Amino acid sequence: MIKVEGLNKTFKVHKKEPGLAGSAKALFKRNYIVKNALEDINLNLDEGEIIGLLGANGAGKTTLIKILSGIIHSSSGNVNIMGHNPWDRHNDYRKSMSVIMGQKAQLWWDLPPMDGFLLLKEIYQIHHKDFYESIEHLSEILNVKEQLNIQVRKLSLGERMKVELIAALLHKPKIIFLDEPTIGLDISAQKTVRKFIKEYRKEYNPTMILTSHYMDDIEELCPRIAILRAGQKVFDGDLSNLHNQYAKNKLLKAHVKNEEDLQKLSTQFPSELGTIELAKNEISISSPRAKVMDAARYLLNNADIIDLNIKEEEISNIVEKIMMKSGDKVE
């Protein structure tokens, strides 16, 4: 469905020295720096699959989406989506995909959403009956029926995102690129949007690429994720594999009944079972996966424990680590 091979994108950016002198100098001679936005990206998606694209700001997520949707041209590499090169901007391709950008409104600011929908109906040549059925159906689920005839500029951020979703889905795209669909929304609106995307997927089974800064979005919607760092893909695989591959330790937390035990543990806990930290009457131990049970047993045998907790490292922490620090490239 989506096949990306050896994709590269470089940008030439004009670098201006600060101040008036810098501006004057730039009139005659300009310095450019070449920035690698994407490097050797390979990606395959099957029909109906959904992938979460993660990365820090400037990692190249949006650039990748812009290339896949045909907005910008790649510097080199191949992209094949349903037999089309997006850059050709073939109408068949453009009719079968949709891009939803949380940060950028597509609907016309000065007009009510319904007027915008009507224009999209003409642009995508949507059948009259299908059009009104979709509007009815989608606005019902998203609960924005009342907002359809109010100027877009007067809607709240959450309402606007919901009508944007409707606008992007009217023509029932087979491929959907979602760029930060929940950005800036409050928690309940985020939940509504996530629930909507889930239901929509169940009903229409589109292929989807989702980027988000919120791990909740990714965890709830995407069984598979890809992580970009400085334009390179550093992880591509099941979200559940992340723990096995990257979280080498598990976290043990224990409440200890008396001070004596606490002191004893802090000095005598075997270092091969993990590293120990003390806080009041609680201890936390970061222990290698294979040694977790040994560490737990040691605790129970050598101290009076009131409560014991074993936890996986938070996914967001792992992802953050991969995004920020250097690590092995995983395919």
Using CB under 8 A as the criterion, which residues of the chain lie in contact with other proteins when the complex forms? 11, 62, 66, 69-73, 89, 91, 94-95, 97-99, 101, 103-104, 106, 108, 110-111, 115, 119, 123-124, 151, 179
User: In the complex, what is the shortest distance from the CB of residue 45 to other proteins, in angstroms, rounded to a whole number?
Assistant: 19
Amino acid at 174: K
SS3 call for 85 = coil
Residues 237-270 as b/e (b if ≥16 CB within 10 A, e otherwise) read bebeebeeebbebbbbebebeeeebbeebeeebe
Asked whether 86 and 69 are in contact (CB, 8 A), the reply is yes
User: In the complex, what is the shortest distance from the CB of residue 283 to other proteins, in angstroms, rounded to a whole number?
Assistant: 48
Residue number with CB closer to other proteins (101 or 228) = 101
Per-residue H/E/C for 238-290: ECCHHHHHHCCEEEEEEEECCHHHHHHHHHHCCHHHCEEEEECCEEEEEEEHH
User: In the complex, what is the shortest distance from the CB of residue 300 to other proteins, in angstroms, rounded to a whole number?
Assistant: 55
Residue number with CB closer to other proteins (95 or 201) = 95
Asked whether 274 and 287 are in contact (CB, 8 A), the reply is yes
Quickly count helices (H) and strands (E) in the chain.
12, 13
Residue number with CB closer to other proteins (124 or 214) = 124
Residue number with CB closer to other proteins (122 or 331) = 122
Residue number with CB closer to other proteins (37 or 45) = 37
Residue number with CB closer to other proteins (152 or 285) = 152
User: In the complex, what is the shortest distance from the CB of residue 101 to other proteins, in angstroms, rounded to a whole number?
Assistant: 5
User: In the complex, what is the shortest distance from the CB of residue 110 to other proteins, in angstroms, rounded to a whole number?
Assistant: 5
Rounded distance between C-alpha atoms, residue 142 and residue 139, angstroms: 5
User: In the complex, what is the shortest distance from the CB of residue 131 to other proteins, in angstroms, rounded to a whole number?
Assistant: 15
